[in-house]
Chains A and B, each alone.
Chain A
Amino acid sequence: MTTTAPNRTDASKPGPPLRVAVGKRKRRPGGQRGWLYAAPLAIFVIALFIVPLLLVGQMSLSDWPLLAGNRGINAPENFVDAFQNRFFLDALVFTLKYTVIATVLLLSLGLGLALIVQESSRWKNFLRTAFLVPSALGLASASLLFYVLYSPIAGPFADLTQALGFTFLGTADSALWSTVFLIVWRFAGFYMLLMMVGLQGIPGDVYEAARMDGASRWQTFRSITLPLLKPTIGLTTVLCITGSILAFEQFYILTKGGPDNSTITLVQLIYSIAFQGQNNLGVAAALSIIVLVVLVLINIVQIRVIRTDKEN
């Protein structure tokens, strides 16, 4: 194995022990080649992530109306304005509330569905496909679909809701839960898929051993499935929380923040400051930066938690 490893230049020399040779010689040409391999990604990351990030940073410190462009430094007023926006606190509270609801529902349902699909052998393929199909639909299209389904004029349930004296999007609570239902419908299959991958990574002999020890189903789930699934649960939690905090399309299309401004998420607030009235990109960028910082903090905490679990 080791004798085939060196590259052509190495092979021509009888030279020192292989390990050293590889270590010494590969550093320069290999390093360059490494950069070359990484370059396409690096270019994308710089052009599509770093540069925009810096620009948002600049925007957040500048007086920057949508229609008039950059008008010079305006720090820290943009941040003060962002915090003092009359919807900031409401949006923050609502976003966190939505995040908790969506995360709990999606993760438990995703795991539940994965277990069902895992267990049943007969309907396995049918169920998997059925749960996963909504994930093939774009979130905006799915939201439009539900907008029509929920519509008290054009929707198929219009007569029913009218008879029951209730509307899907009419009150703050019904609007929230109607949107949560859409999100669960759209994403449960996706989280099921992630959980399934995690479940399949648990070796079968562990289960076999548990069965031989006479563990009940519940014991097996609690003491084997859950602990061994922790990395997957960690990953899905990060995905789900991040996604929920950044919620936008579903509310933009279904509720537009209404009724009575009860469903404004942080990102929607950014959008409305930038494009719907205030037309102030500076304040919108300041709010984006605030959301970014919050997200980074949350993700650091989450990753820490996962890591300590592993070490233990």
Chain B
Amino acid sequence: MHSSRGRRSPFRVVASLVAVGALVGGLAACSSSPAAPESGLAQAGAEGVDDGSTLTLWTRAPLEKQAKLLVEAYNSSHQNKVELTVVPNDDYVAKVGAAAGSNSLPDLFAADIVYAPNWVQQGLFQDLTTNIDGLSFKDQINKGHLDAGTADGKEHVLPFVLDLSMLFWNKDLFKQAGLDPEVGPKNYAEFAEYAKKIQALNLPDTYGTATGLNCGGCTLFTWFPSIWADGNEVLSDDGTESLLASDDAKEIYSTWKDLVDSGAVLPSSIDEAGPTWTAGFTEGKVGLQFYPATLLSSTPFDAGVSGIPGVNGGQSTFVGGDGIGVSKDSTKGAQAWNFLNWLMSEDAQVGVLAKNGDAVSRSDLTDNQYSSADPRVVTINEVAAKGKTPVALNFQQAFNAPNSPWLTMIRNEILGGKNTVDADNDQISAVLSQ
């Protein structure tokens, strides 16, 4: 898409549709019964096979740093070699879709965990139940990710990298505003109060808080936890009904409307569609922000970290990030399992992820040599246990898509002041239940 010239994009879109179609066409007959290829997963054993095979692995750009570290560590300690391909976030679904249609998925690929239920249902991943059940620490693996990849009682996905939404604050700005730099806000009202206090410093080019108000993914990732922390839900159990017109949800919308109206929100947040939604905080221009924990290691100044406060107190987090599984097209299941088995091991979880300041996917490893060095990592790991991952088949269309009804709702509420929350919420439910 990027190398194109001229204005003939539709031809390319059509052509790519067609390319997908051409490749799928011949296979249409067998697509109804995705017979497992001879991938050797069943014979993989506990450790898998490390025989010098080359494995391909796809992931999306936001988790590039973690993925690279993991792949480097695996390649240097194993005979198998993993070739990593990093795809821009917005193009990832299209790329996976085209590859799925043409039966050319890589051996291993990561999925944004909120898309995992859909992709598992479409048969993109091989069944890993036997292999996962063989892990002695299975009960300690992050449940949100495992559940998202489970369909009909069969497990297909393991956590690749956990990305948790946390509250980050700039300790320096907290001090200037007369706030305790070691303690974050306890509830949503305090969050707004702190943001306004930092705004009231009237420092040039510095704002109370920031987010991406034109970014469905950014807002759901950082706002859902405030509802969970109160013990409430955002979706019905089967993921077909939206509960986002609740009192808790309305409180969140009105708090943000108030913050925007009072000028305590970074102005670019209003049109922020995602690519630079964390930039303001990283540059030290923002007092406190609900923020992805994977960016802890790339935050250049002293930042405080806590779970996301609930509307009425408590803390929670959105257990996002990517799950990973063996693709339906892989013929090297045993080798791929070798990577996954290593990924869940202490070597990978502690030696790579925790070392980089990331959350570990196993609750029995939260206390480790690196977490004791940085208490913020302990905080992140503790909140991870309380976090949730929403499961819905039509999640992408309802929430993440640029024209999603969720985005329409929050923009109506926060920027429009139209008070159409109930009707807008019905629209989300309508998309979820399609």
Contacts and interface: CB of A to CB of B under 8 A. Distances in A.
Interface string B11-29: 1011101111110110110
B77 interface: no
A249 B5 CA distance: 10
A69 B10 contact: no
Contact of B13 (A48, A51, A274, A276): A274
Given A67-B124, A167-B271, A260-B408, A249 B7 contact: yes
Interface centre among A48, A152, A264, A291 (most CB of B within 10 A): A152
A281 B18 CA distance: 10
A56 B280 CA distance: 44
Q: Which of A55, A275, A288 counts the most chain B CB atoms within 10 A?
A: A275
B28 A69 contact: yes
A219 interface: no
B17 A58 contact: no
Contacts of B11: 246
Nearest to B103: A69
A267 interface: yes
B5 A68 contact: no
Given A52-B14, A275-B97, A170 B396 contact: no
A138 B402 contact: no
Contacts of B126: none
A288 B13 contact: yes
Contacts of A162: 267
Contacts of A225: none
B270 interface: yes
A66 to B, nearest CB: 4
A87 interface: yes
A160 B183 CA distance: 37
Nearest to B401: A277
Contact of A261 (B20, B94, B276, B403): B403
A252 B94 CA distance: 14
Interface string B405-418: 00010010000000
B4 interface: yes
Given A258-B214, A267-B10, A272 B21 contact: no
A64 B54 CA distance: 32
Interface string A257-299: 1111100100100111011111101001100100100000000
Contacts of B7: 139, 187, 243-244, 246-249
B10 A291 contact: yes
Nearest to B24: A69
A267 B9 CA distance: 8
B179 interface: no
B404 interface: yes
A132 to B, nearest CB: 14
Contacts of A32: none
Contact of B94 (A167, A258, A259, A275): A275
B35 interface: no
A6 interface: no
A12 to B, nearest CB: 51
B400 interface: yes
Nearest to A161: B267
B202 interface: no
A276 B9 contact: no
B6 interface: yes
A108 interface: no
A104 interface: no
A30 to B, nearest CB: 34
A140 B402 contact: no
A69 B103 CA distance: 10
Nearest to B100: A67
A151 interface: yes
A141 interface: yes
B279 interface: yes
B3 A70 contact: no
Contacts of B76: none
A267 B402 contact: no
Contacts of B397: 276-279
B273 interface: yes
Contacts of B214: 258-259
A154 interface: yes
Interface centre among A55, A138, A170, A244 (most CB of B within 10 A): A55
A256 interface: yes
A271 B13 contact: yes
A169 interface: yes
B98 to A, nearest CB: 8
Nearest to A295: B10
Interface string B329-354: 00000000000000000000000000
A67 B122 contact: yes
A141 B7 CA distance: 12
15 contacts: A51-B22, A52-B15, A66-B100, A67-B96, A71-B31, A138-B2, A141-B2, A170-B270, A248-B7, A257-B402, A258-B273, A271-B13, A284-B17, A285-B17, A285-B21
Interface of B: 1-11, 13-15, 17-22, 24-25, 27-28, 31-32, 93-94, 96-97, 100-101, 118-119, 122-124, 214, 267-268, 270-271, 273, 276, 279-280, 394, 396-398, 400-404, 408, 411
**Which 8 A-B residue pairings sit nearest by Cβ, starting from the closest?**
A277-B397, A277-B401, A248-B9, A52-B18, A66-B97, A70-B28, A152-B268, A275-B94
Given A257-B403, A267-B13, A277-B396, 4 more contacts: A48-B15, A51-B22, A70-B24, A277-B401
